[in-house]
Amino acid sequence: MNVVSWETGLAGFTAGLLIAVVTAPVGVSGAVFLLPVQLSVLHVPSPAVTPTNLLFNVVSGPGALARYRRNGQLTGSLARLLIAGTVPGVVLGAVIRVFAIPGPRVFRLVAAAVLFPLGLWLCARAARPGLPDRPPLSRRVVVGLSLVTGTVGGIYGIGGGSILGPVLAGRGTPMAQIAPAALAATFVTSIAGAATYGVLALTTSGDIAPHWALGVLCGAGGLIGGHLGARLQPYLPERALRLLLGTLATALAMLYLVQGVSSGHNSR
């Protein structure tokens, strides 16, 4: 297990807690926002940052899920459909991450290209509450979309909720259904992804295994923050939740775009 200083551990715990409080109400694990903190503040090397993020999801996930289950929101087939696609996707994504996309710059640019239009789309729809939603996605489309987002999550350790949430919300699925289903899929998928990275670390050189101590400390903060965020969700109106999700996705895309462009200039 990697040894971390108490300052780094405290920073990771605090970051995990604060991020999860904000993201859990909209079904995002928080790993997508923790990743730039790990790269820029905690200095976790790439590609170890991805399995460390997946470890954060595993540790933090039960906090929000326990609350959503207590609220009676972990029902229905949506979670099962998401898991059916994201689990095989995350295994594929882990393999791609280790052997094809080792650098963080490509990740940032790709993530920005995916999240920016999704975030703007959801914000625009939330700002116009009278606009009718599009017809709900079919079960087959949901599974296919989950496979794609699971692969993205396996590559970048973001769980997939930050991508699935805006799409499902934009098609009219209530946030009260999206949040617990997306977090349940993220939790199960992260277990599969972390295990895959662990196996790959046994046969591949480089920083592939997660930073266990830091991942657990960040996850412990997320465990508490996620429970608090899930408890807050029923008190927030649907429009506010959609706007929050869209804003988070757009802000993250802007951050990744700036970081990706900056790292490209610095490498010259």
pTM for the model? 0.82
SS3 134: coil
Q: Answer positive or negative: Cα dihedral of 125, 235, 224, 81.
A: negative
User: Residue 77 — pLDDT band, cuts 50, 70, 90?
Assistant: confident
Estimate the share of the chain in helix, then strand, then coil, as percent rounded to the nearest 5: 80, 0, 20
Q: Residue 111 pLDDT more than 80? A: no
How far is 68 from 184, CA to CA, in rounded Å? Answer: 10
Q: Residue 102 pLDDT more than 60? A: no
Q: How far is CA 165 from the centre of its chain?
A: 10
Residues whose CB is less than 8 angstroms from the CB of residue 231 and which lie 6 or more positions away in sequence, other chains included: 67
pLDDT in tens, 160-200: 676 787 778 877 788 889 999 999 988 988 888 888 877 87
Q: When comparing pLDDT for 233 and 163, which is higher?
A: 233
pLDDT in tens, 216-226: 999 999 999 99
